[in-house]
Amino acid sequence: MNKTNWVIVIVGVILLLGIGLVGFPLIMMRIVKQTTDQAVSPIQQANEQIKTQVSELLHPTPTIIPDPITIIKSVQSLARLETIQYTVEKVITAEAGQDFAGFLFGDRLLFVAHGVVIAGVDLSKISSNDLELKDKSLIVRLPDPEVFVATLDNSRSYVYDRKTGLLAKENANLETKARQAAEAEIVKAALDDGILALARQNAESYLTRLFNTLGYQDVIFIRSTPSPED
């Protein structure tokens, strides 16, 4: 082998050694990283499980357990003609302990109430004495319209904001009182807007069509309770 060939061989060996010296640490780093990841992964998973368990302890999901025994108090037949429904939104402010040092002892909340008010006429109150046929006209004494349902929509009603004093505890009855006030205000809003007048108007329209189909073409309604205008 001549000198040239020896030089080529030596250069090749040097290059191989150089690549090996560079590549070997990279290979070892990869092995160490994989080993570290495998060792750390169970710890990370355990940490996540601990975090989840702590979160569940601090913020438990409510569990609703109905009593298996149900008592039916009464059963009543109804003949209510529901003729109109109002959907009302009302903001209620409820507060306690605001007279003195409210920032220390007070409790205050804003409750956004969504409610439903349904009104109509109770047809069970109509007797044979309330129906009279006169000159081919059917005279009907219609019961006064009334509110049948006034309730909050719990799926849409919520406490918007609540502020409790530094030294105070949340008043457990405050939200209950806000809900009660909201129901009363929702009914009042519907009454002020004339829900009963509309309920009567719709009832007369419906019953007129019903009596027409029974052969009574002229139907006259009179009030059980005379209105101030009568």
- Tens of pLDDT, residue by residue over 102-134, are 556 567 888 999 999 999 999 999 888 999 988
Residue 21 pLDDT > 60: no
Contact 122, 83 (CB under 8 A): no
In a domain, 119, yes or no: yes
Q: Work out the angle between the directed axes of helices 195-213 and 174-192 (0-180°, nearest 10).
A: 60
Residue 40 pLDDT > 80: no
Q: Give all strands (DSSP E) within 66-190, no chain letters.
A: 80-96, 107-122, 131-134, 137-142, 146-152, 158-164
Same domain for 219 and 153? yes
Same domain for 139 and 209? yes
Same domain for 85 and 28? no
What pLDDT sits at residue 72? 78
Same domain for 109 and 216? yes
Q: Please report, rounded to a whole number, the percentage of residues in the chain having pLDDT higher than 70.
A: 63
In a domain, 95, yes or no: yes
Quote the distance between the C-alpha of residue 114 and its chain's center: 9
Domain hosting residue 5, numbered range: 1-35
What pLDDT sits at residue 17? 46
Same domain for 31 and 86? no
Residue 156 pLDDT > 70: yes
Same domain for 122 and 212? yes
What pLDDT sits at residue 105? 59
Q: Considering its fold, how many domains does the chain have in total?
A: 2
Same domain for 14 and 90? no
What pLDDT sits at residue 56? 57
In a domain, 72, yes or no: no
pLDDT top residue among 22 and 159: 159
Q: Nearest-CA neighbor of 155 among 111, 109, 114, 186? A: 114
